[in-house]
């Protein structure tokens, strides 16, 4: 049994990992560089809380079925607190399109296909205040981690302490020791650099998604109802040169994101301007009901996030841990494109996996190997699927910029891949069992694409392939201006 744990980072992954370990009786100390949330409700925290350590804090998040199911199983009291703060539950039945409702019958597992609708500030504020009430968890904001100590023992390199610096006195430094050290500091983690400086090599893979996305938050005007989910055009889509989506929150708040390739300079410049951001949104049928002038008003400027990369770090190479008594969870270990909304779910799952591994053995090497194996088995498929989506998005965006038809097949293999994708989209649009399978993948309830192994689904998709690509391709057509029309629209906008 682990007696003491030091966690770096009091984000969602860090705090949920702390809660999981605290239930096992461990004494947990969390070090967080950012200040605590301000007093007041979660809405006040959204506008006032300075979370410099979490670049994505005010960008919209998807709180998927995996995350919700884990909270429901391990921390049901937290869900009640989220709902009390205004978060909403969107069940599977709520997202079934009207034209599929005649086919819908509840099946076992549908209860896990639900999402939590709210802003990240609400999640973090409620989670932070709950974590602070747990007796064997302490959160330190007065000092922050500025380095790591390691020592060589007979079985390998061990982390032996964290170097701390006082927030108000940079000359006041100290060391903190624990049995286990956990990096939950996210995409800005410095541990790999610190290890490398001490001759401990952590293998890392990085793949750039070649995109940037911008967010603007809004609130529905007094007396305006949230647009009905199925009565309008889809509020999320991909036009090839631009992706977009609406993220409903709580209390009438919602956010819109516009994601564009790095190479789309005119679009990138336009979406930085609030009024032009709105004008772009109003040119897309699926966004118009949300951002029409008589429906909503902006509560923030347009703000962006870049450096969108898929990052995978290997802390075990050739069955040998690079460092012992140290574990990285969430984005510190496996970082995916935040556009897919998988980060929070992965972080909570990773923390739960670690708590189970630490409870299973007291041997440092055994723990490291088991954690690496379970990370590969349970987090790896999610990372790989996200990376594939990134690469497909890059190819499509490049084809659109060059004015090429991206659906032209250069080989039989390419033709089959495109034909299968068209058939899958058409089948999901018309058959509830295929739609349900896709939602299991979207919500990370199972490994991405596992539903395609089901005989009923495979037969259906293959049957749709026989209809031909021309007919099936209509299922993925999304209404909106093409690239040339959008660029002309931008040129006509006042600066």
Q: Where are the domains of the chain?
A: 1-207+309-404, 211-307, 412-481
Token readout for 61 is: 């998040």
Q: Residue 493: what pLDDT?
A: 84
For the stretch 144-153, pLDDT in tens is 999 999 999 9
pLDDT of residue 405: 63
Residues 448-488 have pLDDT tens digits of 999 999 999 999 999 999 998 888 887 777 789 999 999 99
Quickly name the fold that domain 211-307 has: Alpha-Beta Plaits (3.30.70)
pLDDT band per the 50, 70, 90 thresholds, residue 209: very high
**Residue carrying structure tokens 């789309």:** 264
Total residue count of the chain as it appears in this document? 495
Residue 323 near residue 156 (C-beta atoms within 8 A): yes
The pLDDT value given to residue 1 = 64
Q: Predicted confidence band at 409 (pLDDT cuts at 50, 70, 90)?
A: low
Q: Which CATH superfamily is domain 1-207+309-404 in?
A: FAD/NAD(P)-binding domain (3.50.50.60)
Q: What is the pLDDT of residue 337?
A: 94
Residue 232 has pLDDT above 80, yes or no: no
384 contacts 441 by C-beta, under 8 angstroms? no
pLDDT at site 393: 92
- Residue whose entry in the numeric block shows the structure tokens 């927030």: 167
Separation between Cα atoms, residue 490 and residue 488, nearest integer Å: 5
Query: What is the rounded average pLDDT for all residues in the chain?
Result: 93
pLDDT of residue 171: 85
Lowest mean pLDDT among 124-138, 147-161, 231-245, 427-441: 231-245
Distance (Å) of CA 318 to CA 21, 159, 194, 321, 386:
29, 20, 22, 8, 25
Burial of 36 by CB count in 10 Å (0-12 exposed, 13-18 middle, 19+ buried)? middle
Kindly state the average pLDDT of the residues 312-331. Answer: 97
The model's pLDDT over 56-112, given as tens digits with 9 standing for 90+, comes to 889 999 899 999 999 999 999 999 999 999 999 999 999 999 999 999 999 999 999
H-run or E-run covering 112: none
Summarised one tens digit per residue, pLDDT across range 342-361 is: 999 999 999 999 999 999 99
Tokens of residue 481, six digits: 């201006």
């Amino acid at each position: 049994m682990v007696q003491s744990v030091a966690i770096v980072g009091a984000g969602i992954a860090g705090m949920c990992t702390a809660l999981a370990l605290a239930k096992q009786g461990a004494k947990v100390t969390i070090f967080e560089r950012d200040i605590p949330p301000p007093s007041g409700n979660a809405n006040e925290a959204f506008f006032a809380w300075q979370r410099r350590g979490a670049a994505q804090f005010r960008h919209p998040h998807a709180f998927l079925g995996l995350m919700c199911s884990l909270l429901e199983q391990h921390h049901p009291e937290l869900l009640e607190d989220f709902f009390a703060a205004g978060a909403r539950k969107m069940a599977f039945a709520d997202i079934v399109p009207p034209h599929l409702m005649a086919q819908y019958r509840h099946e076992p597992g549908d209860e896990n296909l639900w999402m939590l609708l709210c802003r990240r500030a609400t999640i973090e504020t409620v989670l932070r205040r709950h974590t602070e009430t747990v007796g064997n968890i302490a959160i330190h904001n007065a000092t922050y981690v500025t380095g790591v100590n390691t020592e060589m023992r007979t079985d390998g390199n061990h982390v032996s302490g964290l170097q701390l610096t006082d927030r108000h006195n940079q000359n006041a430094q100290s060391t903190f020791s624990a049995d286990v050290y956990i990096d939950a500091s996210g995409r800005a983690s410095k541990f790999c650099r610190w290890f490398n400086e001490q001759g401990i090599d952590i293998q890392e893979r990085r793949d750039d998604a070649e995109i940037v996305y911008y967010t603007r938050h809004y609130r529905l005007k007094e007396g305006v109802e949230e647009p009905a989910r199925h009565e309008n055009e889809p509020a999320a889509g991909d036009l090839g040169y631009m992706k977009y989506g609406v993220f409903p929150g709580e209390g009438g708040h919602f956010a819109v994101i516009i994601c564009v390739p790095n190479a789309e300079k005119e679009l990138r410049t336009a979406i930085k301007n609030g009024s032009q951001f709105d004008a772009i949104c109003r040119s897309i049928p699926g966004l118009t009901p949300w951002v029409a002038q008589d429906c909503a008003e902006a509560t923030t400027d347009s703000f962006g996030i870049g450096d969108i990369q898929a990052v995978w770090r290997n802390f075990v190479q050739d069955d040998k841990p690079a460092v012992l008594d140290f574990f990285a969870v969430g984005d510190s270990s496996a970082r995916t494109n935040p556009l897919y909304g998988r980060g929070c779910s992965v972080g909570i799952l990773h923390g739960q996996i670690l708590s189970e591994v630490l409870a299973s053995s007291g041997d440092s090497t055994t723990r490291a190997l088991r954690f690496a194996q379970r990370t590969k088995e349970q987090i790896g498929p999610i990372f790989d699927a996200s990376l594939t989506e990134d690469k497909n998005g890059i190819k499509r965006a490049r084809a659109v910029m060059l004015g090429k038809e991206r659906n032209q097949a250069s080989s039989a293999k390419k033709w089959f891949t495109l034909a299968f994708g068209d058939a899958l989209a058409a089948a999901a649009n018309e058959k509830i069992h295929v739609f349900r399978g896709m939602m299991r993948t979207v919500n990370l309830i199972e490994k991405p694409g596992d539903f395609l192994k089901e005989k009923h689904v495979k037969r259906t998709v293959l049957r749709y392939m026989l209809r031909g690509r021309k007919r099936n391709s209509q299922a993925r057509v999304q209404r909106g201006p093409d690239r040339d029309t959008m660029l002309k629209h931008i040129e006509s906008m006042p600066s």
